[in-house]
Amino acid sequence: MKKQSQRKRRKPIKLAAIPIFLAMLILSACQLAPGQEVTETSSPPSTQTTTSRATETSTSEPSPLFKETATQTPQTSSTQVPDFEPKVALEAVASGLTAPVALAAPADDSGRLFIVDQVGLIHLVDSEDNLLETPFLDIRNKLVNLNTNYDERGLLGIAFHPDYANNGRFFLYYSAPLQPGAPSGFDHTSLVSEFRVSNTNPNLADPESETIIMTIDQPQSNHNAGSIVFGPDGYLYIPLGDGGSAHDRGPGHAEDWYEVNQGGNGQDVEDNLHGSILRIDIDNGDPYAIPADNPKISTRFPEIWAYGFRNPYRMAFDPGGDQELFLGDAGQNLWEEVSIVEAGGNYGWNVREGTHCFSTADPGNPNAITDCPRVDNLGNPLADPIIEFRNSSHPEGGLGTSIVGGVVYRGDMLAAWDGRYVFGQWSTSFRSPAGSIFVATRSEDDSWTFEPVIIADRNDRNLGEYVLAFGQDLLGEVYVLTSTSTGPSRNTGIVYRLITP
């Protein structure tokens, strides 16, 4: 058992506000993204996905998880909130991991943190910040073979059922070998599966308890997204990328309605599930039901809740405020973006990249198309992101290679950060680890500005590691998950808690 530093509850210090920064980053043509196909009340076609008997018109009650979490989030004891300053220190919670890509905390009063390692392990940190020697679950034998130098496949997401304390149910998103009957030439199959905790040991999952909820055959290896999450309504949200490769075109990519581009799963809601966010009810149906209030986006795939995404790698609901869904969508060559996603929304890819026109014929040219549609072929508006920044590949330079979506701060260590959105960029290049953390602030007119976060306990004030993900515990505190390796190899993965400097 490896002892880590104990969790601290430090008193916030007064900080001075500084000017807001510019835009940020996202991974270019090699990102993550799944997609699937199912019918409303029967098994889906066998061409691209497999899902068992999804039932519509769910009547389950909304989950109390978010209401309870918001209620339990402690407030600062002082009536005077300190001045905001984008400066933090980093407290190591777990180290020696390979590629930590997700962190979750079930609402079971245990204070534990569960860390998803891309290679197929789920590590457990107890309430005293001890990284337990035995993993909570090991599914390495279920994964597709991963490339050690760089890979976007693997074990990518975890979501605990809102009533996990009583039913022990949790869900994983991972990349398995291509299933029998999948389209020829496809790369792998993404799975959403349910597991249960052991009946005898709460620190171990039952590896034999797997029930496959959904399968999504993936044309290419990249754009796999994976950050599944339960919403405040108790339903499971599943982000899927556009199928991979570049431009959202090629084998496994649909014809696009916008004549300038030649392919587009992100805009096609009738032929596949790629490039969308799904919303399902896993407490009803077999293996799930369709919530009755899902938007009627697709006649074939009623799971689709929002669409128009390239690689929605990381997303999270705000545990406070209006409990909005914040999502970072990795761009290609020019623009990275963060959106607040709403039911029925079309977020533009591949007609647009951020707020800008996108050209499949000349994707590196920001001026290739200067007049693109503002609505889709059904007349639905293409929603703008709340934040965008130039990619490192942009001719004018940029902030990084890929955006990493984050979380809204709701803790008490950094009281002045309450309601601000914390996110990051993977690195400024593949050559060396140079990721960054950013914090965004909402203005009274509902616009957003953001600035870089200073790492006070580093000599150069920079993170100097690849940013893989962000996480949040039930107290609203924020964690950043990093590595110094470009791929799922070596043991340089670390999970840090953001604390007062």
Q: Which two tokens stand for residue 39?
A: 């019918």
Nearest residue to 482 (alpha-carbon basis) of 437, 440, 450, 438 = 437
pLDDT in tens, 116-157: 999 999 999 999 999 999 999 999 999 999 999 999 999 999
Element (H, E) at 327: strand 325-329
Domains of the chain with CATH codes: 2-499 (2.120.10.30)
Task: Tell me which amino acid residue 488 is.
Answer: P
Nearest-angstrom CA–CA distance, 426 and 403: 6
C-alpha–C-alpha distance, residues 181 and 147, integer Å: 24
**221 near 152, Cβ under 8 Å?**
yes
- Taking residue 98's Cβ as centre, other Cβ atoms within 10 Å add up to 23
Residues 6 or more apart in contact with residue 453 via CB below 8 angstroms: 86, 87, 88, 422, 436, 437, 438, 439
Average pLDDT of 356-380?
92
CA dihedral defined by 222, 227, 228, 231, rounded to 10 degrees?
A: -140
Residue 461: what pLDDT?
93
Q: Does residue 347 have a pLDDT over 90? A: yes
Q: What is the pLDDT of residues 165-174, one digit of tens each?
A: 999 999 999 9
Q: Measured between alpha carbons, how far is residue 478 from residues 91, 316, 406 in Å?
A: 11, 12, 9
Nearest to 34 by CA among 343, 310, 286: 310
Put simply, whether the predicted model's pTM sits higher than 0.85 gets the answer yes
Would you place residue 261 in the very low, low, confident or very high pLDDT band (cuts 50, 70, 90)? low
pLDDT, mean of residues 353-360: 95
